[in-house]
Amino acid sequence: MSKRFDYEYMVIGAGTAGVVAATQLAEAGRKVALVEQEKWGGTGVARDFPEKALQNFGHTYAKAVEASRMGLSSANLRYNYPTVQHFREKVLAKAAVTKKELEEKGVVCIKGQAHFVGNYDVAIEGQGQISASKFLVATGAAPASEGISGLDTVEYLTPKTAVETEKPPKAVLIVGGGASGIETAQYFAELGAKVVIVEAADRLLPNIDEEVGQVTEQYLAKRLGVKVFTQTRVVALEKDKVSKRVVFMRGGQEKTVRVETVVLATGSKANTDLGLKNAGVSFDKNGIIVDKTLQTTARNIWAAGDVLGGNSSMERAEYTAEIAVINMLGRGKTFINYTGFMEIVNTSPQIACVGTTEAELKKKKRKYHKTLVPLSTTSAAITDDFKIGFLKLIADGQGKLLGAAMIGPCAANVMQELALAVRHNIPLIQIASTPHPSSEWSNLVKIAARKLLTAK
C-alpha cells in the first residue's frame, strides 16, 4: 500500500454487504476501514431478523387458533404483547453485529457519514478527510416515499418500525402490496387488526408470478378479512383529532379512509447521496451502475448490496460482497451470476419463486411448457390439513427448468432443489427420477416434474 493512503481498503456502509466485505478483507490481512453513520450491522439485521421472528409468531398464533378443528382447545387463546416485544429484542440482540466484534477481527471502525471528495478521498464529519486505495460502497437502501403528500406532518410506520410498536393497531392501512407490504398486513391481521392494502398495480405481488398473487389475495381476504384495493394510488396523508385520513385515487375518483395506523411499504431507494459524482461513479434512479465484476465507472471503486438496486435479500447482499472482495483483491475476475436466487415472502402459506416468470417469457416471446400442481395432490396436504396453494414449474422444449413458483408450507425449503436445477441446468428428467419422501411437501417437486415431462 502506498504511504499516501490512510487505508488500503475502505468499505462505506456497515450493513450485511459491508460487514461481510470488511471482515473478509481483514481476514486476508489487508488494512481496512469500515465507515457507518448509524448502526453497525445496518438496517438488514435490525429489520430482517426481528421482522421474521414476529411474523413467525403471528403465524404460530393464527395456526394455534385454527387448530381447534384438530381438537386443540384454543378458543380462549391470548397473547401478551410486551412479552412478544421482549422476544423481538432478544432476537435482535443475538443477531446484532457489534463494533467490538468487528475490531477484534481487525477492522478499523469509523463512525460518521462518508462523502467522496475525489475517487481516493472521503470527508467524514468529525474525522476530516481520509484516503484509501480501493473502496467498496455498500450504503444499502432506504424506504421510498415519492408522490405522497403529508409525510412530513403525519406519523407513519415502515415494515421495520411496524413490528416495534408497543401494541398492535386495531385498524391499519398498508401502502404497497409487494412482499414487505403483505408480510406486514398478514402479521397485523393475524393479531386481530382490521387491515386494508392499497396497491397501485392491478394485483398484489406485481413482480412475482401472477397466480401466486391471486391466491395470496384470496387467502388474505377469506381467511383474515384483509381488504385489498388494487389499481389504487395513495396521494396524501392527513390527520385530525380522532384518526389519520388516507386520501387515494381509485377509478379516477378521489376517496378517503380513516385508520389508526399507516404503514408505508412502497419499496426502497438506493442510498446514493455520498458524493459519487466527485469520485466519477455513475448511478441512476435504480442505484449504482456496475459491470459484471461489480466494479463501478471508477476503476478503484466497487459496489455491493442493496445500493445496486433490484431484489433485496441478505443472501444476495452477502453474495455480492463476496464477489466484490475477490475482484478487489485482484484474484482473477469473477463475474456476478444471480441465476438461482430465490425470492421469498414470509407469509403463511410461504411464497418462494426462482428463475424466469411466465410473464417475462411471454414478453420475450419465448416458447415454454408449464404445469401447476395443487397442494392437494400430496399426502402432506391431508396430514397437515392444508390445501391452499400450488407448485408451478416452467421449462423449455428440451426439458430445461426455466422457473418455478410455490405458495404453500415450507415453500423455500421445497424450492431449494429447483433453485439448484435452475442455476446448474439440471435436466427435468433427473428431478423427476429422484426419490422424494411421499409424506413430505417436497414430493410436490417430483409430481410436478413428471407431469410437466409427460405433458410435453
pLDDT in tens, 421-455: 999 999 999 999 999 999 999 999 999 999 999 87
Each residue's pLDDT tens digit, 69-104? 778 877 778 899 999 999 998 988 888 788 899 999
Average pLDDT value for residue range 333-358: 95
Pairing outcome for strands 171-175 and 141-143:
unpaired
Q: Is residue 60 in a domain? A: no
Same structural domain for residues 413 and 353? Answer: yes
Average pLDDT value for residue range 176-199: 95
Whether 395 shows a pLDDT value over 90: the answer reads yes
Whether 274 shows a pLDDT value over 90: the answer reads yes
Please report which confidence band the pLDDT of residue 3 belongs to, taking 50, 70 and 90 as the band edges. low
Average pLDDT value for residue range 365-370: 93
The 10 Å CB-count burial string (b at 16+, else e) for 338-375 is eeebbbbbbbbbbbbbbbbbbeebeeeeeebbbbebeb
Same structural domain for residues 194 and 238? Answer: yes
Same structural domain for residues 215 and 262? Answer: yes
Q: Is residue 148 in a domain? A: no
With a pLDDT cut of 90, the percent of the chain lying above it is 79
Same structural domain for residues 389 and 318? Answer: no
Average pLDDT value for residue range 307-312: 88
Give all strands (DSSP E) within 144-295, no chain letters: 171-175, 194-198, 227-229, 232-239, 244-250, 253-259, 261-264, 268-270
Q: Which helix (H) or strand (E) holds 276?
A: none
Please state, as a whole number, how many other Cβ atoms lie within 10 Å of the Cβ of residue 263.
Answer: 25
Same structural domain for residues 254 and 242? Answer: yes
Structural domain total, the chain? 3
Higher pLDDT, 422 or 331: 422
What's the pTM value of the predicted model, to 2 decimals? 0.92
The radius of gyration of the chain's CA atoms, rounded to the nearest angstrom, is 24
Chosen domain end from 219, 245, 266: 266
Please name every residue paired with 329 in a beta bridge, in sequence order, or none if there are none.
none
Same structural domain for residues 401 and 440? Answer: yes
Average pLDDT value for residue range 308-319: 90
Whether 283 shows a pLDDT value over 70: the answer reads yes
Q: Say which range, 218-222, 328-332, 367-371, has the weakest mean pLDDT.
A: 328-332
Q: Is residue 151 in a domain? A: no
Contact (Cβ atoms closer than 8 angstroms) between residue 351 and residue 411:
yes
Pairing outcome for strands 121-124 and 128-137:
antiparallel
CATH number, domain containing residue 436: 3.30.390.30
Whether 245 shows a pLDDT value over 80: the answer reads yes
Same structural domain for residues 178 and 224? Answer: yes
DSSP code, position 260: S
Mean pLDDT of the chain: 92
Please report which confidence band the pLDDT of residue 404 belongs to, taking 50, 70 and 90 as the band edges. very high
The 10 Å CB-count burial string (b at 16+, else e) for 381-413 is beebebebbbbbbbbeeebebbbbbbbbbbbbe
H helix count then E strand count, the chain: 13, 21
Contact (Cβ atoms closer than 8 angstroms) between residue 354 and residue 340:
yes
Contact (Cβ atoms closer than 8 angstroms) between residue 112 and residue 126:
yes
Q: Is residue 212 in a domain? A: yes
Chosen domain end from 232, 266, 300: 266
Same structural domain for residues 18 and 116? Answer: yes
Q: Is residue 104 in a domain? A: yes
With a pLDDT cut of 70, the percent of the chain lying above it is 98
Please name every residue paired with 9 in a beta bridge, in sequence order, or none if there are none.
32, 134
Same structural domain for residues 215 and 247? Answer: yes
Please report which confidence band the pLDDT of residue 8 belongs to, taking 50, 70 and 90 as the band edges. very high
Same structural domain for residues 259 and 273? Answer: no
CATH number, domain containing residue 128: 3.50.50.60
Each residue's pLDDT tens digit, 109-146? 999 999 999 999 999 988 899 999 999 999 999 888 77
pLDDT of amino acid 44: 63
Please report which confidence band the pLDDT of residue 317 belongs to, taking 50, 70 and 90 as the band edges. very high
Chosen domain end from 250, 266, 282: 266
Q: Is residue 175 in a domain? A: yes
Q: Is residue 279 in a domain? A: yes
pLDDT of amino acid 456: 58
Residue with cell 426439458: 399
Q: Is residue 431 in a domain? A: yes
What DSSP line would sit under 286-334, residue for residue? S-B---TTSB-SSTTEEE-GGGG-SS--HHHHHHHHHHHHHHHTTSS--
Same structural domain for residues 273 and 260? Answer: no
Average pLDDT value for residue range 310-321: 90
Whether 172 shows a pLDDT value over 70: the answer reads yes
Average pLDDT value for residue range 339-350: 95
Domain holding 397, by residue range, is: 343-455
Residue count of the chain: 456
How far, in Å, CA of 254 to CA of 124, rounded? 46
Whether 46 shows a pLDDT value over 70: the answer reads no
Please report which confidence band the pLDDT of residue 43 belongs to, taking 50, 70 and 90 as the band edges. low
Same structural domain for residues 296 and 378? Answer: no
